[in-house]
Amino acid sequence: MPLVPFIVASVIKSIIVIFILLTAVAYTVWLERKVVGHMQNRWGPTRVGPFGLLQPAADGIKFLLKEDLTPPHVYKPLFLAAPMIAVIFALTSIAVIPFGTSITIAGYNIPLQITDVNIGLLLILGVTSIGVYGVALAGWSSNNKYSLLGGLRASAQMISYEISLGLSLVGVLILSGSFSLRSIVEAQSGLYWGFIPRWNIFPQFFAFFCYLIAAYAETNRIPFDLPEAETELVAGYHTEYSAMKFAMFFMAEYANMITVGCLATLLFFGGWLGPVAGPAPLRVILPVFWFVLKVFVFLFIYIWVRGTLPRFRYDQLMAFGWKFLLPLALVNLIATAIVVVR
């Protein structure tokens, strides 16, 4: 593709994807409040719009209009930078996520992905790892012992579970032979024995288990939300934050949830590949539909776990990561390597 149409297509795709991602972040919050509400025999949001669908807009207006307080004792440069670091890196990782095949416009073949790089998976892992600096710096710069403990917990938790998460993905890389997310999805096309999809979830079930648990810990979600445990740390790393800076941390959290769901879909569940290809006009729409449906299932599981499981103790959190999850990921990696070599 010539340079100018390529740039125009990339800018348009970036605007559309960021708009959809931010909308998805807002309505994932709404979905969580509704689902957990029904689990607890409550209604959840109902007053603002039909079924409470305008509640995210009301929340956004509230955060924008609230007084933005900066306590006098904080280290201001990093205190202001921390929420921006968290949300920027959470949104950046969506750039290499492929969410469909491709479309043809004016004779140009445009892939449904902002950019396709050969090391897309490594890029996502690197970008999401940097995002923890936002949490750690927020805790340190707040000059508050509870915030500092929350930031330290987030750092230790990220180091402990990042290793297991990375090792759980190596088996998928061995099977697909590529770091490109698009190539990983294409390697899962076809069927086992004529009726079972060749998704990596079947040969890599234990890897998926390790990935899912580590992803919960990486995104600081229950039962691994120790960096913001209100019973011990008031609110953890974001205790001193208010208004839009406070909201930015939660935007980053829910954006990371969506990224984790996208990555799980691409690596283990065939991405946009579905049981029905459909006629020619639907061959662009149906892959996107299958992809969104699978990501939605992961978001629902995230919410289901939050409404079901209690929080771990911190020693249990660290022991589970180092004594169970890491050995399981190593055993799965060794077994996969032996099978592939044979």
Structural domain boundaries of the chain? Answer: 66-341
Please write the tens of the pLDDT for every residue from 76-131.
Answer: 888 888 889 988 888 888 888 988 887 877 777 778 888 878 888 888 888 888 88
Tell me, what's the pLDDT at 277? 62
- Averaged pLDDT for residues 279-308: 85
Tell me, what's the pLDDT at 60? 87
Mean pLDDT of the chain: 86
Q: Count the Cβ atoms, other than its own, within 10 Å of residue 39.
A: 14
Does residue 245 carry a pLDDT above 80?
Answer: yes
Tell me, what's the pLDDT at 117? 82
DSSP tag of 130:
H
Tell me, what's the pLDDT at 300? 92
Integer Cα distance of 77 and 82 in angstroms: 9
Tell me, what's the pLDDT at 198? 87
Q: Count the Cβ atoms, other than its own, within 10 Å of residue 236.
A: 27
User: Tokens 């999401």 map to which residue?
Assistant: 128
- Averaged pLDDT for residues 191-196: 80
For 229, the token pair is: 């445990």
User: 21 Cβ partners below 8 Å, 6+ apart?
Assistant: 91, 94, 255, 258
Please write the tens of the pLDDT for every residue from 299-332.
Answer: 999 899 888 888 888 888 888 889 999 999 999 9
For 36, the token pair is: 């957990």
Tell me, what's the pLDDT at 278? 61
Give the max Cα distance, the chain.
Answer: 66
- Averaged pLDDT for residues 184-190: 87
